[in-house]
């Protein structure tokens, strides 16, 4: 079965779904219970038809779905390797800092130990002379008080010196333990990177084998898919770089504080979910072209651009915007109508402010909004953030 025939089946199934919902929708319901049962029946039919349509899509592009899945695995492993490399760099810095600290603590310990040794030698050379003998040998009250305070200062100094030596030695020992732990963790991370790279190589090899089996029509779609993945990786790297400096608490995934990017809609209106298909890094809202898109929360626009090929045609996300909410999260709005972006990079926007219009630019087959939530640059399921 070729792609065009299967596409026709998908379209017919979709029309059947609309007709079915319409027929059920005009049924008379006299009670709340009847209405609930009717709603449940509609949901079941929708789920059934969606499963059938998804099955046709899977049958239509089995090889492409396998490649898409491998692309997702490759991207995930690449991200893990990147995180591990960052961790290795951080551990290396920690090891250098701890080594410097240990050297400093060792120098302090040596100096304090030398002072204590000199003090003990002085006491030894004084022989049997005790603090009491020094006091009894005083010439009058004034001399007695003077010697008393001198002895008290010496005793306090001895105690302080002993305390400093003890504390320094304890810190030194702890720093050595921390250093060894950091070195152990560093070696473990390096071994993990080797394993991840082997896993990556295996996935890439498997992907190449499948690519060689693609038809000419599928090869065109594959080229677009690869282009999209490359663009997503570049965007991922840039957003991770922008989010790197954020050290505050990241806002939790809950619908308080966020609104839907399509006014009047909610998470219930999502037409394609997060990873509904392998590699889908956000959620979709199917809408008529020109439908307003609003900022889900106040923030600063960090990206507002159109991704186009050398020949001027749209690719990947097409017209898209990214907003940094300055709480550890960013939101991305993609496939907007040509020239409909209403905000620029560096601009601050308020919650509910219109930023563009729904379109179908880039890697899109119909008017819809592709919406993503990123936490410290990484894609997350947007659904818990939406009302």
122 in the same domain as 14: no
Helices (DSSP H) in 61-139: which residue ranges? 62-125, 131-136
Q: Is the pLDDT of residue 190 over 70?
A: yes
According to the model, what pLDDT value does residue 135 have? 52
Is residue 21 included in any domain, yes or no?
Answer: yes
300 in the same domain as 190: no
Band of pLDDT at residue 245, cut at 50, 70 and 90: low
According to the model, what pLDDT value does residue 126 have? 56
Is residue 5 included in any domain, yes or no?
Answer: yes
309 in the same domain as 183: no
According to the model, what pLDDT value does residue 155 have? 60
Nearest to 77 by CA among 249, 196, 161: 196
Domain count, the chain: 3
According to the model, what pLDDT value does residue 175 have? 81
Is residue 331 included in any domain, yes or no?
Answer: yes
DSSP 8-state symbol, 285: E
Q: How far is CA 171 from CA 99, 104, 165, 298, in A?
A: 13, 11, 10, 46
- What is the extent of the structural domain holding 43? 1-60
Q: What is the pTM of this model?
A: 0.53
Phi, psi for residue 375 in degrees, rounded to 5: -110, 115
The interaxial angle of helices 216-243 and 62-125, nearest 10 deg, is 30
Phi, psi for residue 338 in degrees, rounded to 5: -55, 130
According to the model, what pLDDT value does residue 19 have? 37
> What proportion of the chain, given as a percentage, has pLDDT over 90?
27
Round the average pLDDT of the chain to a whole number and report it: 76
146 in the same domain as 89: yes
Is residue 208 included in any domain, yes or no?
Answer: no
Nearest to 371 by CA among 264, 247, 282: 282
Is residue 214 included in any domain, yes or no?
Answer: no
Task: Pick the range with the lowest mean pLDDT from 6-10, 152-156, 181-185.
Answer: 6-10
270 in the same domain as 166: no
Element (H, E) at 281: none
176 in the same domain as 296: no
110 in the same domain as 31: no
Domain-terminating residue out of 154, 175, 199 = 199
b/e 92-111 (16+ beta carbons within 10 angstroms → b): eebbeebeeebeebeebbee
Band of pLDDT at residue 26, cut at 50, 70 and 90: very low
Tens of pLDDT, residues 104-132: 878 877 777 777 667 666 655 555 455 55
348 in the same domain as 304: yes
Terminal alpha carbon distance of the chain:
41
Is residue 96 included in any domain, yes or no?
Answer: yes
State the CATH number of the domain containing residue 328. 2.70.70.10
Report CA 21 to chain centroid distance, whole Å. 39
Band of pLDDT at residue 174, cut at 50, 70 and 90: confident
Strand extents, DSSP E, 227-327: 283-286, 292-294, 299-308, 314-324
Is residue 262 included in any domain, yes or no?
Answer: yes
Collapsing DSSP states into helix, strand and coil, what is residue 16? helix
Band of pLDDT at residue 1, cut at 50, 70 and 90: very low
374 in the same domain as 299: yes
97 in the same domain as 186: yes
Q: How far is CA 184 from CA 88, 95, 158, 179, 197, in A?
A: 11, 11, 39, 9, 20
According to the model, what pLDDT value does residue 150 have? 60
Q: How far is CA 166 from CA 35, 160, 162, 172, in A?
A: 77, 10, 6, 10
DSSP 8-state symbol, 358: B
Nearest to 303 by CA among 369, 347, 364: 347
Is residue 206 included in any domain, yes or no?
Answer: no
289 in the same domain as 335: yes
């Amino acid at each position: 079965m070729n792609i065009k025939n299967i596409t026709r089946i998908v379209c017919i199934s979709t029309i059947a779904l609309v007709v079915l919902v319409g027929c059920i929708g005009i049924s008379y319901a006299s009670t709340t219970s009847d209405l609930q049962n009717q709603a449940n029946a509609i949901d079941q039919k929708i789920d059934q038809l969606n499963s059938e349509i998804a099955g046709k899509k899977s049958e239509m592009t089995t090889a492409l779905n396998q490649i898409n899945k491998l692309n997702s695995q490759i991207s995930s492993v690449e991200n893990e390797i990147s995180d591990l490399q960052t961790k290795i760099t951080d551990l290396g810095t920690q090891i250098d800092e701890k080594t410097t600290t240990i050297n400093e603590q060792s120098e302090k310990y040596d100096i304090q130990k030398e002072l204590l040794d000199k003090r003990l030698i002085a006491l030894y050379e004084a022989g049997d002379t005790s603090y009491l003998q020094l006091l009894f040998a005083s010439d009058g009250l004034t001399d007695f008080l003077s010697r008393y305070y001198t002895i008290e200062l010496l005793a306090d100094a001895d105690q302080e010196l002993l305390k400093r030596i003890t504390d320094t030695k304890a810190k030194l020992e702890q720093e050595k333990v921390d250093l060894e732990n950091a070195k152990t963790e560093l070696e473990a991370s390096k071994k993990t990177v080797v394993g991840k790279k082997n896993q990556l190589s295996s996935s890439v090899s498997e992907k190449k084998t499948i690519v060689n089996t693609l038809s000419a029509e599928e090869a065109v779609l594959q080229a677009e898919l690869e282009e999209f993945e490359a663009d997503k990786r570049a965007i991922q790297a840039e957003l991770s770089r922008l989010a790197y400096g954020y050290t505050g608490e990241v806002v939790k995934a809950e619908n308080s504080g966020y609104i839907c990017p399509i006014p009047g809609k909610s998470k219930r209106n999502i037409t394609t979910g997060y990873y509904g298909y392998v590699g889908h890094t956000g959620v979709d809202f199917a809408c008529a072209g020109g439908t307003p898109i609003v900022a889900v929360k106040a923030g600063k626009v960090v990206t507002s651009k159109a991704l186009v090929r050398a020949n001027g045609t749209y690719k990947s996300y097409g017209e898209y915007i990214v907003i940094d909410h300055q709480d550890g999260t960013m939101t991305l709005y993609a496939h907007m109508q040509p020239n409909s972006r209403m905000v620029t990079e560096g601009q601050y926007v308020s919650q509910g402010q219109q930023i563009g219009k729904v379109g179908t630019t880039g890697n899109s087959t119909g008017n819809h909004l592709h919406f993503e939530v990123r936490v410290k640059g990484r894609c997350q399921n947007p659904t818990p953030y939406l009302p």
